[in-house]
Copies of this chain bind each other. A is one copy, B any other.
Amino acid sequence: MNIFERIESNVRSYSRSFPVVFTKAKMSKMYDENGNEYIDFFDGAGALNYGHNNDFIKSRIIEYIESDGISHALDMFTGAKGEFFTCFEEKILKPRGMNYKIMSSAPTGTNAVEAALKLARKNTGRNGVFAFTGSFHGMTIGSLSVSSGKSIRAGAGEPLYGTTFVPHPNTFPGDCIAYMENIITDEYSGVEKPAAIILETVQAEGGVVVMSDQFLRDLRAFCDRHDIIMIIDDIQVGCGRTGKFFSFERAGIIPDMVTLSKSISGYGLPMSLVLIKPELDIFKPAEHNGTFRGNQMAFVGAKAAIEYRELYKLEEKTEENAKIVSDFVKERILPLNDKLEHRGLGMIQGVDFRHAQGDKDIAGMVAHECFLNGLIIERAGPNDCVVKIMPALTIEKDELMKGLEIIEAAVKKYI
């Protein structure tokens, strides 16, 4: 570990929570250099929905590399990209009646968000954007400007302009849509009609906060009424995390743009997409770009992942697992303290210690205790007060139960 302490930038963070050197992993298990085994409820921050080194996907990737398939091609046409696009069209878009153009963006989520924001501004000629309190959309300046965390915003070292943060409907003491409507229409509101509204249907970093189906529908109607582009950032909670492939399917809405990343490659490989309604796809060639926007292994993995998802009925499995988690939390964790809260949807669920912990950092102690007992789990939300349960969708029931029991024991110890 000396090498890291000697030479790695102080910016490193997860290695502070999990100070061991990981070397191998398989599905929901991780192993450190001393052979210790860990159950993974962290899931690479949502990038490993299909588990670590999923054999179905792995074999396709190895086969591709062995065949000297193109590894890197910017936005040239390639066989691997073509096959992924065809599969995505057939198995994801068409069955859902969706008609999107696909932008394969530089392979990080933040880059996809930046592309979507640029395109929204270009389409509307407007400058401002609405984002919700609690939001997180990325760390490059464009995405950071629509992210709500004050600490990361301060890291910019310069004022971040152009975003109006609107209150999240779950905490606003009134009708959030009416409030926004008033901002849009009142000629003395001080705030121009925005180019776009960007949102996570379930705020992950914000502390596992779920927007209701009804609110999503109302928001869609609001955007339609006012000709505002609706961008759903499905980077963390898309790709089946909440059950359906897209997190917004539950509400029956079609956003104007969707950003995808994290689990889209199926193998933890850098990849991101922007889905764009055809009439909005007014980009000039290369108007947004990035060297690694053609990560071919990721395309290979992404196609395999979609096939795997169907073959192994991941949607049903996610539903079953989500019920296990939900029941466990309600029956065995919440009763430990009546100020604990439970929130979540599908396989992103959280236990909120905000009101239960007073001035202490019990959520932190719980997460640390879990680690000591072989469970990798992270926290989210204000002061990291929410313990976030987010295993791979492929997790086996015994692993899931074992992980939940480790949490239960940790909560018992500290609450």
Contacts and interface: CB of A to CB of B under 8 A. Distances in A.
A343 interface: no
A140 B110 contact: yes
A65 B53 CA distance: 8
A147 B158 CA distance: 17
A186 interface: yes
Nearest to A146: B190
Interface stretch (A66-74, A317-325, A397-405): A66-74
B71 A118 contact: no
A62 interface: yes
A58 B75 CA distance: 22
A253 interface: no
Interface residues of A, number: 149
A169 to B, nearest CB: 13
Which of A18, A104, A153, A190 counts the most B-chain CB atoms under 10 A from its CB? A190
A85 interface: yes
B162 A158 contact: yes
Contacts of A270: 107-108, 269-270, 292, 295
Contacts of A159: 127-128, 158-159, 161-162
Interface string A131-156: 10111001111110101111111111
A291 interface: yes
Interface string A79-111: 111100110010000000000111110111111
Given A174-B173, A190-B147, A292-B270, A10 B283 contact: yes
A262 interface: yes
Given A68-B25, A71-B268, A270-B107, A158 B121 contact: yes
B101 A8 contact: yes
Contacts of A47: 72, 291-292
A81 B14 CA distance: 14
A312 interface: no
Contacts of A118: 155-157
A215 interface: no
B21 A82 contact: yes
Contacts of A75: 11-15
A42 to B, nearest CB: 9
B149 A68 contact: no
